[in-house]
């Protein structure tokens, strides 16, 4: 393996970022990924299988569901930086596994629950035993989330949820669904009147009074992504997250900054997987009596891929550090999300090219990295939405949109 990712090299590359502790965290996560995640991904992704419970349990033992959950609540008490570091490693094996670690936490914001219940469930979440599906998108509402139409109606001791949702990943496997609903006004009122609700349910099933079907997506296997129809789904009055109106939306939006940095980490991890596989293949594959790694076009491709990944990684370290310092990061989080995910599509496509015809088969993991990279430009806000956020910060919002 030519790629130089020894601990010493990392230390020299990133003197400001890589403490001994972080190097250790990175190296343990890398080992875990290569031994526990990659073989499962290679077996299950081609048959669209779900992430097995046994793997989820091992991830729970490693503490990966509780990276940012405070130690007193059963987590590791680490920051966004470590979260991104571990994410990159897991995504090198399987992006879906790097994604599922984002499904724990946030339960301390459920204002109606007792401190005891919040603590108990946060502790379970930190072990990976109480995980969320997130239901924001709707059939008619994607980028413009302020137009959410699904309704929650106040009915005595309960909320009653009715409306259609779309793209809800993990709706079946999760222990609860966090559903964004409108409690007052209509689409013209924008964020005002939007709240997030906890819909608890048995794992492996949809909630009562909610029907759904998996969407036939082209990648991101390991879990299913659902369209859902809530029809009078009743939940306790207490199951409401955070503050109301614009405040509630702001909570969602500030969570998106970390989510976008983590998406950059996912893109970097899978791009690195594609690069490492392409390097190995280029050294083994012989044409015209020599390894294809000896052709300048292959060498330069690999050089460009490695440089693009490293630039994205350093940018991610910078943004994660600022997020840990609680600095406002909406522009930078959008920049790194856009930069790293666009990079991942180019790099995984070049990796597939290095494999030639073999790349266009299910026989090598490079096709998985390529398919999953494509999604990173769409979810957590499309590339166009990131560019809109960045340009609005630079130029101010246009007078007429």
Ligand X SMILES: Cc1cc2nc3c(=O)[nH]c(=O)nc-3n(C[C@H](O)[C@H](O)[C@H](O)COP(=O)(O)OP(=O)(O)OC[C@H]3O[C@@H](n4cnc5c(N)ncnc54)[C@H](O)[C@@H]3O)c2cc1C
Return the residue of 33, 87, 135, 252 that touches ligand X, per CB under 6 A.
Answer: 135
Q: Is 168 in the site for ligand X (CB under 6 A)?
A: yes
Task: Please pick, from the candidates 118, 151, 388, 393, the single residue that binds ligand X as defined by CB under 6 A.
Answer: 388
Q: Is 136 in the site for ligand X (CB under 6 A)?
A: yes
Report the catalytic residues: 380
**What element of type H or E holds 298?**
helix 296-324
Given the structure tokens 């924008």, which residue do they identify? 190
Are 202 and 271 in contact by the 8 Å Cβ rule? The answer is: no
Name the one range near ligand X by CB under 6 A: 65-73, 86-94, 133-141, 250-258. 133-141
Read off φ and ψ for residue 276, nearest 5 degrees: -60, -40
Q: Is the dihedral of CA 333, 193, 399, 143 positive or negative?
A: positive
Query: From the list 64, 65, 220, 369, which residue makes contact with ligand X (rule: CB under 6 A)?
Result: 220
For ligand X, give the closer residue by CB, 130 or 166.
Answer: 166
* 143, 287, 327, 361: residue in contact with ligand X (rule CB under 6 A): 143
* Strands annotated E in 220-356: 225-236, 240-241, 286-287, 290-291
Concatenated DSSP letters of 90-108: HHHH-HHHHHHGGGS--GG
What is the footprint of ligand X within residues 351-380 (CB under 6 A)? 375, 378-379
Looking only at the bridges linking them, the beta strands covering 290-291 and 286-287 are antiparallel
* Phi, then psi, of 95 in degrees rounded to 5: -60, -35
- Residues that contact ligand X, how many (by CB under 6 A): 20
Per CB under 6 A, does 108 bind ligand X? no
Asked if residues 315 and 39 have their Cβ atoms less than 8 Å apart, the reply is no
Nearest distance, CB of residue 337 and ligand X, angstroms: 12
CB of 145 to ligand X, least distance (A): 8
Contact region for ligand X (CB under 6 A) — 109-117, 132-140, 249-257, 349-357?
132-140
CB-based contact 64:48 (threshold 8 Å): no
From the list 16-24, 39-47, 134-142, 330-338, the region that binds ligand X by CB under 6 A is 134-142
Answer yes or no whether residue 99 interacts with ligand X by CB under 6 A.
no
Contact string (CB under 6 A) for ligand X, positions 221-250, x = contact = ----x-------------------------
- Cβ proximity to ligand X, 132 vs 302, nearer residue: 132
Candidates 167, 230, 281, 317; binder of ligand X (CB under 6 A) is 167
Q: Which of 11, 118, 217, 331 binds ligand X (CB under 6 A)?
A: 217
Rounded CA-CA distance 250/242 in Å is 10
Closest CA to 367 of 296, 281, 265, 264: 281
Q: Which phi and psi (to 5°) does residue 179 adopt? A: -110, 125
Residue 76 or 168: the one with the smaller Cβ distance to ligand X is 168
Residue 26 and residue 85 in contact, taking contact as beta carbons nearer than 8 Å: yes
Q: What does the binding site for ligand X look like in residue numbers (CB under 6 A)? A: 134-137, 142-143, 167-169, 217, 220, 225, 375, 378-379, 381-382, 384-385, 388
């Amino acid at each position: 393996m030519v790629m130089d990712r020894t601990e010493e090299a990392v230390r020299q590359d990133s003197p400001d970022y890589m403490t001994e502790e972080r190097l250790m965290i990175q190296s343990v996560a890398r080992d875990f990924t290569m031994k526990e995640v990659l073989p499962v991904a290679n077996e299950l992704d081609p048959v669209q299988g779900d992430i097995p419970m046994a793997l989820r349990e091992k991830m729970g033992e490693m503490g990966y569901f509780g990276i940012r959950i405070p130690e007193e609540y059963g987590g590791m008490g680490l920051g966004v930086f470590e979260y991104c570091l571990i994410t990159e490693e897991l995504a090198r094996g399987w992006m879906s596994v790097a994604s599922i670690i984002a499904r724990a936490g946030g339960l301390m914001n459920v204002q109606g629950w007792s401190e005891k219940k919040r603590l108990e469930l946060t502790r379970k979440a930190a072990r990976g035993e109480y995980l969320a599906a997130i239901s924001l998108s709707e059939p008619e509402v994607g980028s413009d989330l302020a137009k959410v139409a699904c309704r929650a109606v106040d009915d005595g001791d309960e909320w009653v949820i009715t409306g259609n949702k779309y793209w809800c990943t993990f709706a079946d496997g999760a222990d609860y669904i966090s559903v964004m609903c409108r409690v007052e006004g209509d689409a013209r009122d924008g964020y005002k009147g939007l709240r997030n609700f906890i819909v608890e349910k048995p794992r492996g099933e949809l909630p009562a009074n909610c029907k759904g079907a998996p969407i036939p997506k082209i990648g991101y296997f390991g879990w299913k992504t659902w369209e859902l129809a809530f029809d009078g789904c009743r939940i306790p009055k207490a199951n409401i997250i955070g503050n109301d109106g614009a405040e509630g939306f702001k909570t969602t939006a500030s969570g998106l900054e970390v989510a976008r940095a983590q998406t950059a980490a996912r893109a970097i991890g899978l791009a690195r997987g594609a690069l490492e596989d392409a390097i190995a293949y280029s050294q083994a594959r012989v044409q015209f009596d020599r390894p294809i790694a000896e052709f300048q076009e292959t060498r330069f491709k690999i050089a460009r891929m490695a440089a693009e990944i490293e630039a994205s990684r350093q940018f991610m370290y910078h943004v994660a550090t600022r997020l840990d310092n609680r600095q406002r990061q909406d522009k930078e989080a959008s920049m790194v999300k856009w930069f790293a995910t666009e990079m991942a599509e180019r790099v995984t496509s070049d990796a597939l090219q290095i494999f030639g015809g073999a790349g266009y088969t299910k026989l090598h993991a490079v096709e998985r990295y390529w398919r999953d990279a494509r999604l990173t430009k769409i979810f957590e806000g499309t590339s166009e939405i990131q560019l809109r956020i960045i340009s609005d910060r630079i130029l101010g919002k246009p007078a007429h949109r």
